[in-house]
Chain A
Amino acid sequence: MTSGASTRGEWAILWRAIPTLWRVAVAGIVAYRAEMVIWILSATLPLVMLALWDAASAAGPLSGFGQAEFARYFAITMVVRQLTGSWVVWELNQAVRSGSLSPQLLRPVHPLVYNFFETLAAIPWRLVVLVPLLGALVAWRPEILIVADGWFVPEGWRMALFLPSVALAFAVAWLVQALFGMLAFWFEEAVGVFSVHFAIWSFFSGYIVPMALLPPAVAGAARWLPFYASLGVPVDVLLGTAGPVEVWAQLGWVVALAVVGRVMWARGIRRYGAVGA
């Protein structure tokens, strides 16, 4: 068959499509302004945790974490959480259940690739929420920026490693959500299963408790799990309690999850018709 698509490869099309995917995704985000409010709310959980730990550490530091350390930790956690958030589990579950996946499957760009770009397109809008929140937090707790011997400035290599580590955390978080979303090919409760995962994730990712405060045996294992790879690693890279080894582990998870995802997708799509295509 002759057409525009047949003369070029999939990747060539995708590469040239990126500006438009991005532009349309941004237009979509703007159309869903109401969701911004929800992001603002979900962005505040690290602040709630900060308030709790702040009270808990009022009498003295816990495992080396005083009030300033907690404030710094949850400020950075809030930033990383905002930059790595996605919603592909809900989107995929809905698309499979309602059959709206069908038209997406017939376009030359993979539905998940499109979702990936949509998720990336949301990041600038998340920053719009994040920057004022962060400003308010620093105003409330200026000690975030101050350490014993002056300003809090991480070593150069840590700052350089922070960004790739955030990118990898984003990829791990997105891939994990996509895998849970793919469960919708088999079960009706994909989102429910994800919620159970979220509870475990909150505990082992560093979202509600810093890795350093977990019992050493637990922390020793949790350090190498995907929960931590999807949030805690970049935070700890900046704070000095994680390094290149943990970032390599993140990369390992990205590869492993992508491989599992490919296999799951190929199998799920064969079952797709049985649900609601």
Chain B
Amino acid sequence: MIISVSGLSKTYRVPIKGEGLAGSFRSLWNRQYRDVEAVKEISFAIQGGERVGFLGPNGAGKTTTLKMLSGLLFPTAGTVSVGGFRPQDRAVAFLGGITLVMGQKQQLLWDLPPQESFALNRAMYGVPQAEYRRTLDQLVAMLRIEPILQKPVRNLSLGERMKCELVAALLHRPRVLFLDEPTIGLDVEMQGQVRRFIQEYNRDTGATVILTSHYMQDIAALTPRLLVIDKGSLRYDGGLAALAERVAPERRIVVKGGPAELSQLGFVVVGGDHVATVTPEQTNQRLAAVLGRWPMVEIAVESPPLEEVMARYFKEGTT
């Protein structure tokens, strides 16, 4: 087991500030606080080499959890162990074995070419030159960023910058990758490239990958295991397919166009197509009924989209 988390909680003390100038002055003399429980008694364990996705609405506590795992935040209660270390001690051997990539924060030096940031990280992590060259060549080839290594970071596109962030974050060959929304703001093509890269990296090195994302595609493509965090609590721990099956088990039978008589079989018209919502058990029977009468129609069976599954799941939690 590479990561074990038990009863992990984080409570922020946030000052309450009144509105306007008067409020500001009042809070100068008499500052009041309220406690915000960002993470509440979360427990889980992750094996080496696993790919795990943290999923949850904004403010659910995903990033807070990730920051406690990587040692940036001190837990209010509970214990965390990553590779046998207490992350918040930030021991050099711990830092040398992990990395944190934040889609919204960067570590690259803004006015210098990415190469300089890479060289700096090589030195700071004490990576021997030969090993550095080997890793760098490999990462540069995988991400196809050879042509941009000499350009100042400020002149790179968001996608190019993200790829360079990944290189900078992986030069010391970490065993555990914490990725906080690594594809945020990227176009679809670039998202795909980053996803493929993370997958290959995990396959080639056996590194553990823990990822948060707003994009369901990231989760669907990358992480067989899902931890759903909602209002600071862990609500689900398991596979995506199993969750979808539980929350939204129904299938949709879609007949392209189709004759009006389909309404007799329980179909309704949606955007010019006929659609019936059925349970998995009813699917085959209904398909047979349609194809028996109209063998030439174009027909498809769909599961509800993942976004819808999750939206329904989070709504479930509030009622």
Contact = CB atoms under 8 A, between A and B. Distances in A.
Interface in A61-113: 99-100, 102-109
B219 interface: no
Interface stretch (A4-12, A119-127, A197-205, A240-248): A4-12
A109 B175 CA distance: 19
B109 A103 contact: no
B126 A106 contact: no
A113 to B, nearest CB: 10
A55 to B, nearest CB: 43
Nearest to A107: B124
Interface stretch (B86-94, B229-237, B254-262): B86-94
Interface in A14-28: 16-17, 19-21, 23-24, 27-28
Nearest to A5: B96
B312 interface: no
Given A21-B120, A107-B95, A1 B111 contact: no
Contact of A28 (B12, B107, B111): B111
Contact of A3 (B102, B116, B173): B173
Contacts of A3: 93, 96-97, 125, 172-175
Interface in A206-249: none
B124 to A, nearest CB: 4
Q: What bracket does the count of chain A residues touching chain B fall in? A: 35 or more
Contacts of A23: 119
Q: What bracket does the count of chain B residues touching chain A fall in? A: 35 or more
A174 B118 CA distance: 27
A1 B176 contact: yes
Interface stretch (B66-74, B243-251, B270-278, B300-308): B66-74
Interface string B1-41: 00000000010111000000000000000000000000000
Interface stretch (A159-167, A253-261, A267-275): A267-275
B137 interface: no
A108 B95 contact: yes
Which of B98, B106, B123 counts the most chain A CB atoms within 10 A?
B123
B124 A27 contact: no
A118 B79 CA distance: 37
Contacts of B131: 4
B314 to A, nearest CB: 25
Contacts of B74: 270, 273
A277 interface: yes
Contact of B105 (A1, A10, A32, A103): A103
A31 interface: yes
Contact of A1 (B13, B96, B112, B125): B96
A19 B299 CA distance: 67
B122 A20 contact: yes
A67 B111 CA distance: 45
11 contacts: A1-B84, A2-B97, A2-B175, A3-B96, A4-B131, A5-B96, A9-B92, A21-B123, A106-B90, A108-B124, A274-B14
Task: List the 4 shortest-distance A-B pairs measured between CB atoms, nearest first.
Answer: A5-B96, A1-B97, A103-B107, A20-B123
